[in-house]
Chain A
Amino acid sequence: MAEPASVAAESLAGSRARAARTVLGQVVLPGEELLLPEQEDAEGPGGAVERPLSLNARACSRVRVVCGPGLRRCGDRLLVTKCGRLRHKEPGSGSGGGVYWVDSQQKRYVPVKGDHVIGIVTAKSGDIFKVDVGGSEPASLSYLSFEGATKRNRPNVQVGDLIYGQFVVANKDMEPEMVCIDSCGRANGMGVIGQDGLLFKVTLGLIRKLLAPDCEIIQEVGKLYPLEIVFGMNGRIWVKAKTIQQTLILANILEACEHMTSDQRKQIFSRLAES
Chain B
Amino acid sequence: MEEETHTDAKIRAENGTGSSPRGPGCSLRHFACEQNLLSRPDGSASFLQGDTSVLAGVYGPAEVKVSKEIFNKATLEVILRPKIGLPGVAEKSRERLIRNTCEAVVLGTLHPRTSITVVLQVVSDAGSLLACCLNAACMALVDAGVPMRALFCGVACALDSDGTLVLDPTSKQEKEARAVLTFALDSVERKLLMSSTKGLYSDTELQQCLAAAQAASQHVFRFYRESLQRRYSKS
Contacts and interface: CB of A to CB of B under 8 A. Distances in A.
Partners in one complex: yes
Interface of A: 1-3, 5, 7-9, 11-12, 14-15, 27, 29-31, 70, 72, 79, 81-85, 104-108, 110, 135-137, 172-173, 205, 255-256, 258-259
Contacts of A256: 1
Contact of A5 (B20, B211, B218): B211
Give chain A's interface secondary structure class.
loop
A136 B214 contact: no
A31 B60 contact: no
B149 interface: yes
B232 A27 contact: yes
B37 to A, nearest CB: 13
Contacts of A255: 1
Contact of B144 (A7, A108, A172): A108
A81 B105 CA distance: 10
Q: Considering residues A12, A31, A137, which has the most beta carbons from chain B within 10 angstroms of its beta carbon?
A: A31
Contact of A11 (B188, B189, B215): B215
Contacts, number: 117
Given A30-B149, A84-B232, A104-B145, A9 B17 contact: no
Nearest to B22: A3
Contact of A31 (B36, B186, B212, B235): B186
Contact of A107 (B17, B42, B111, B235): B42
B67 interface: no
A104 B141 CA distance: 13
Interface string B43-69: 100000000000000001111100000
A173 B112 CA distance: 7
Nearest to B232: A27
B30 interface: no
A3 B42 CA distance: 45
Contacts of A29: 142, 151, 187, 224-225, 228
A85 B142 contact: no
A16 to B, nearest CB: 11
Interface stretch (B76-84, B172-180, B202-210): B202-210
Interface string B135-176: 000000010110111110000000000000000000000000
Contact of A8 (B16, B64, B110): B16
B9 interface: no
Nearest to B3: A259
Contact of A12 (B151, B190, B208): B190
Given A27-B228, A108-B61, A137-B63, A14 B149 contact: no
A259 B3 CA distance: 7
Nearest to B150: A31
A8 B17 contact: yes
B114 interface: yes
Nearest to B74: A136
B139 to A, nearest CB: 10
